[in-house]
Structure 1
């Protein structure tokens, strides 16, 4: 049995990130953030890898080149036998050509694209997620059908004049939007529900747009050396806007409006960082002045020791 090879820190880091990616993909709902952070999401039909399963992932991923490792799962036993035969034959007959394995260093060990067994179809699709957001945004109730024709609108329950007068009196006393919404619902005020056709159309359009955006970001590569083209570097929100503007996936006017909103959101954080550096610089200057005052006129008498060399 060949001795176990020592795993480098670079390889262990990559496999840890690969296991984290697999664990993040094994979810049933992308809107529930707490199970994502705690890692308590059960994966249907597959075991969810944890941070302690890095060694198992390392054994599951072969470190040989990709073109030699494209066999099916049913051929694992045969491939192991062939490997042992090749290993024994190489020990008996030394190769004529010198090995070139030391001339290059492998840059990527994990599989990409990912294996089909590592990903399963989620219970809720992206279209379902978008439709749920649209229904919640427009105040649509799932248990009540929208009013499509005029006959249904005339048959709908209406609010009496006395109730409307009481609502108007209470509107003058309202101070917050939450109290307004609660009183309108309690008094039976009509709400404009989003029709099912509009909700589905909005979900389809948003689904298509988000798929194009994700595909654009997935194909985006930074201008780096060819050896690190397979690496995906962190991308901030400004890089996302630059990639979408360059490809023309989203309208320029829409991007400009969204960029201004995002800039206002992140402006407070940037200002906080700037103020932090300014306060630190002020403290350093204050300490320097105190040091000069403590030394006084004797600062000219100080001499630096020269290097004996």
Structure 2
């Protein structure tokens, strides 16, 4: 004889709905009680003086010590002791949490070597000793000394003539404008994220800076090639950016030549001479 399978007891639909409602109620009470900050913060914060408007009541413990001050609004928002005792039957006790936390201590995430706090702390920001105007003046003086003719060279031991303030201010303003343009281009090539996620991206290298400058047309091919020659060590990095910029400049020159053909005098509309006013006809006698 085949054994009969045991059937589960039949639960009516009404009773099943009622049990589901009770289950949802217990879950909501559990979630609300866990998320109630006052229940977790109040025992530790009653020692401090409460701040608020309205009537303040002071509660004392059995020893006579003040327990803290609370406003009427705070008393209305906080759960009563009776409600807390009823809910404790359905909630895990604090001792269980303490035991579990002691048994399994939390592991703090160690910062990686490449992680950098963002935004930077004030003590981590390096304040340069020289300003941009001083650096531009030094570089411009070196370039002028190298490009000067031997006849105009200064004598040994004599300092070269400093740049005029107006010339230095012009160079500084143009250099700062170029730096601002490059920084804006570099920031536009990074996705917008929260400040806490900025350390996920590795810093830009000089090859990527040349790529961005070549793609945007901020620097000429000659400047890019000189920068690549100074920064390149392996001999192959940054070549594509320079070559691409050279191709763009060559196409721009060809387009300019074609455009100049259409700007010749042959295609200009000649100006018509001014028409003479009509002469008055004399009446015959």
Tell me the TM-score normalised to structure 1 length: 0.31
Larger-Rg structure: 2
- Larger relative helix fraction: 1
